[in-house]
Amino acid sequence: MGVNRLPLIAGNWKMNLDHLQAVAFVQKLHWTLKDAKHEEDSVEVAVFPPFTDLRTVQTLLDADKIPFALGAQDLSTKDSGAYTGEISGAFLAQLDCRYVIIGHSERREYHAETDEVVAAKVQAALRHGLAPVICVGETAEDLEKHGAAAVPVAQLEAALAGVAADADIVVAYEPVWAIGSGQAATPQQAQDVCAKLREVVGSALGADAAARTRVLYGGSVKSANIAGFMREPDVDGALVGGASLVADEFAAIIRYQKHVGV
């Protein structure tokens, strides 16, 4: 992992946990980390609840001074107007969201989001001071047809079109073939792709951006395998799905440094 890049462990709750369940979960996660004497400045923790939970979770984080960053799972390409059901980046900014996930494989698959839509959402996030977590990845078919990294690289190149060199972004590599399968990529596979994605950032935004941008791995991340990924120099954190819904397991993932000896 890069020397100057604070690791980011992000929990994507997807369509799970209502606002009451979210409160109980955040409290339990915070208590678990405190009981384990987790050092808050060693890893940035971010939670990505459903839209209906955001205000409640924001209030809890503020009131109890819980040092988790708040993120949203998506946003609209539009800032306001007659777009029923859409969520503006302006709304998310007012809720003190720090991050927003863009281009997640489920959005690409189930909502037919193209590279052009993803790029427009990246611009929408940046307009409102949100750091986009740009998700890229390949299916098993992509992997067989194009080889490792080809599809993620092309997706990221499209997403970064028109992005300023000083933009605050995060990149998340999710091998779609691994998500939900229980079969994660190997640490070396993750490193190989993440290194190529960092090269894309460098080509598009410059060497400084490549050095500071965090590249996450996401795909069947668990406490049993997180340490292996975090040993790799170009893996700066994890975008965690199902395991982020179990407080003890997510806390163990956040505390990965216990197992990597750093």
Report the CATH number that the domain containing residue 195 is assigned in CATH. 3.20.20.70
pTM, two decimal places: 0.95
55's tokens: 């205000």
Name 99's Cβ contacts closer than 8 Å, sequence gap at least 6: 10, 46, 48, 69, 70, 71, 72, 130, 131, 132, 133, 170
Domain count for the chain: 1
Helix (H, G, I), strand (E, B) or coil at 243: helix
User: Considering only CA atoms, which of 262, 258, 253 is closest in space to residue 8?
Assistant: 253
Catalytic annotation, pick one of 44, 113, 138, 174: 174
Quick check: is 183 in a domain? yes
Domain extent, residue 192, equals 8-260
Q: Assess if residue 2 is contained within a domain.
A: no
Alpha-carbon gap, residue 257 to 66, rounded angstroms? 20
116-167: per-residue pLDDT in tens? Answer: 999 999 999 999 999 999 999 998 888 889 988 999 999 999 999 999 999 9
Question: Distance between CA atoms of 95 and 57, rounded to whole angstroms?
Answer: 10
Average confidence (pLDDT) over 164-184: 87
Can 111 be counted among the known catalytic residues? no
Has residue 242 been placed in a domain?
A: yes
Catalytic residue among 44, 104, 113, 232: 104
Report pLDDT digits (tens) over 26-51: 999 999 999 887 877 899 999 999 99
Is residue 232 part of the annotated active site? The answer reads: no
Assess contact for 125 and 119: CB atoms under 8 A. Answer: no
Mode of pairing for the β-strands spanning 68-72 and 99-102:
parallel
